[in-house]
Amino acid sequence: MSVETDVDGEPTELSRVEELAGELGEAIAQTPEYQRFEETKEAVEQDDEAQEKVQEFEQLRQEFMLARQTGEATQEDVQKVREAQQELHSLPVMDEYLQAQEDLEAKLENVNKVISEPLAVDFSDQSSGCCED
């Protein structure tokens, strides 16, 4: 890893922040939530039935998106996509993956809150523009 330094050879604040961010990423990769996410992702990738259902769902979703863009999408098309998604999510291997993903997202959300707390900045209120009166 390269370290940015100032004129005197001292590490800059930015490089320290980047270094800490790298350490945080490594620490997150060691959490049970991340480990479980990786394990369940691998299980889905190795499951032939799950891969078949993923391909079916993606095909139907893509066809629906194209039909929607041309104004030709029907309620029947929506229903087909929903049914394919339900079939996919009903597979135990996919259910475990989705739960692991949800758990990891919750962990990352908590980490984000901890990081943001000392900054005292709520970016969610600023979404409409850069300058507020």
Is residue 62 situated within a structural domain?
A: yes
Is residue 32 situated within a structural domain?
A: yes
pLDDT tens for residues 18-73? Answer: 999 999 999 999 999 999 999 999 999 999 999 999 999 999 999 999 999 999 99
| Measured distance CA(108)–CA(58) in Å, rounded | 27
**DSSP reduced 3-state for 11:** strand
Is residue 106 situated within a structural domain?
A: yes
**DSSP reduced 3-state for 12:** coil
Is residue 120 situated within a structural domain?
A: no
- pLDDT at residue 1, as a whole number: 43
Is residue 94 situated within a structural domain?
A: yes
| Nearest 10 degrees: Cα torsion 100, 101, 103, 109 | 160
What is the domain-level CATH number for residue 76?
Answer: 1.20.1500.10
Which residue range is the domain that position 81 belongs to?
13-112
Using the structure block, give the residue that is written with the tokens 């889905």: 44
Is residue 21 situated within a structural domain?
A: yes
- For the chain, the domain total comes to 1
- pLDDT at residue 16, as a whole number: 86
Dihedrals φ, ψ of 23, to 5°?
-65, -40
- pLDDT at residue 2, as a whole number: 47
| Measured distance CA(105)–CA(113) in Å, rounded | 12
Residues 6+ apart with CB under 8 A from 56: 84, 87, 88
Give the confidence band of 132 by pLDDT, cuts at 50, 70, 90: low
